């Protein structure tokens, strides 16, 4: 089984499982809010990708060329967000979201953002 990536900066690590769309992490308490972190990727489709995707639309179903491009772009934006969090000294990110904006035809910005926090385990009851 593959291990989840860990993002480290100056000894501070943010593990993949310490990111949530919620505003709290189960069994952890937030001890410090470090502010908004983000990762931005601007991507264009190549002419070959556009032609290939056009051909895939003729047969219907999942357009894998575009699905793969979208997944790769989201992963890159997520990685940049996690690196930003680690640079600030966070060990978790809460309220994580994605957003996408068409900048011009064939060019899209993908933004991953959230709130960088420092958390510690809650005391056992």
What span, in angstroms and rounded, lies between the C-alpha atoms of 100 and 123? Answer: 39
Domain that holds residue 109: 6-45+74-121
What's the token pair of residue 40? 């931005």
pLDDT band at 10 (very low <50, low <70, confident <90, very high): low
Structural domain count of the chain: 1
pLDDT per residue as tens digits for the range 15-69: 989 999 999 999 999 999 999 999 999 987 655 455 554 555 555 555 566 677 7
- At residue 67, the pLDDT reads 74
- At residue 70, the pLDDT reads 79
Q: What is the pTM of this model?
A: 0.79
Is residue 33 assigned to a domain? yes
What span, in angstroms and rounded, lies between the C-alpha atoms of 51 and 54? Answer: 5
Mean pLDDT, the chain, integer: 82
Is residue 81 assigned to a domain? yes
The CATH code of the domain that includes 105 is 3.30.110.70
- At residue 1, the pLDDT reads 42
Is residue 13 assigned to a domain? yes
Is residue 66 assigned to a domain? no
Is residue 54 assigned to a domain? no
Is residue 68 assigned to a domain? no
Helix H or strand E segment including 12:
strand 12-15
Is residue 50 assigned to a domain? no
pLDDT per residue as tens digits for the range 75-125: 999 999 999 999 999 999 999 999 999 888 878 899 999 999 999 999 887
Q: φ and ψ at 54, to 5 degrees?
A: -60, -40
Is residue 63 assigned to a domain? no
Residue pair 63/56 in contact (Cβ under 8 Å)? The answer is: yes
């Amino acid at each position: 089984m593959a291990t989840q990536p860990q993002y480290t900066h100056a000894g501070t690590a943010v593990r993949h499982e310490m990111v949530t769309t919620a505003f709290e992490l189960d069994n952890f308490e937030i001890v410090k809010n470090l502010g908004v972190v983000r990762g931005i990727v601007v991507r264009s489709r190549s002419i070959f990708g556009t032609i290939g995707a056009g051909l895939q639309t003729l047969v219907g179903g999942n357009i894998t060329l575009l699905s793969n491009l979208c997944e790769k772009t989201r992963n890159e934006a997520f990685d940049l967000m996690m690196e930003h969090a680690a640079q600030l000294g966070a060990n978790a990110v809460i309220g994580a979201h994605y957003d996408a904006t068409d900048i011009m035809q064939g060019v899209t910005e993908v933004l991953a953002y959230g709130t960088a926090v420092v958390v510690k385990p809650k005391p056992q009851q």
